[in-house]
Amino acid sequence: VCHGVSSVQLRDKNASYDQLIIVGRQLKTLLSPYNIPLIINDYVEVALALNTQGVHLGQSDGDINTARRRLGPNKIIGLTVDNLVQVEVANKLPIDYIGCGPIFPTKNKENAALFWDLNKLRQACTLSKHPVIAIGGINLDVAHQVIAAGADGIAAIDEFYAS
């Protein structure tokens, strides 16, 4: 952990495979001296090509069991869950953590139809057998509330782009 950063996720929905490989290599070089894992969002193929520490998949980004077989038992696999039913389903999957969100409105998921809020996050943390990472609209002003609700960690994209 370096200044509170326990992992970095490479997420760029508009980048090509080749662009993700280039940026992924650069990130691996930057993160390696600090032993900070690089997680690839959505693309098992990119994670395999770069030999990153893992992948994070959304509900429509591929089969978790296939990803586990391809990546092996020692890689990190995260799964985004959109509701409490998906939290219960995730309990039976070979994953390492779940991402719940968006907790609050965010520019990074403008198409999100529903927000979790802290009460639903608290319920997810109680239901989940996996660590819970809270996603969406989290910055320094609300991070303590999210952790107090039971989240094991946060994703803080907005904080890095705050002006």
Q: What is the pLDDT along the chain (163 residues), one digit of tens a residue?
A: 556 778 999 998 899 999 999 999 999 999 999 999 999 999 999 999 999 999 999 999 889 999 999 999 999 999 999 999 999 999 999 999 999 988 988 766 555 556 788 999 999 999 999 999 999 888 888 999 999 999 999 988 766 655 4
Contact 31, 15 (CB under 8 A): no
Alpha carbon distance 139, 146 (integer Å): 10
Per the document, the length of the chain is 163
Identify the pLDDT of residue 163: 45
Cis bond upstream, residue 102 (ω within 30): yes
Q: Give exposure, 37-56, as e/b (b: 16+ Cβ within 10 Å).
A: ebbbbbbbebbbebebbbbb
Identify the pLDDT of residue 113: 56
Identify the pLDDT of residue 116: 84
Alpha carbon distance 15, 10 (integer Å): 10
Identify the pLDDT of residue 159: 65
CA distances, 144 to each of 23, 81, 102, 135, 141 (Å)? 31, 21, 16, 14, 7
Identify the pLDDT of residue 50: 97
Q: Which pTM value belongs to this model?
A: 0.90
Q: Which two tokens stand for residue 123?
A: 């319920």
Q: Mean pLDDT score of the chain, rounded to an integer?
A: 90
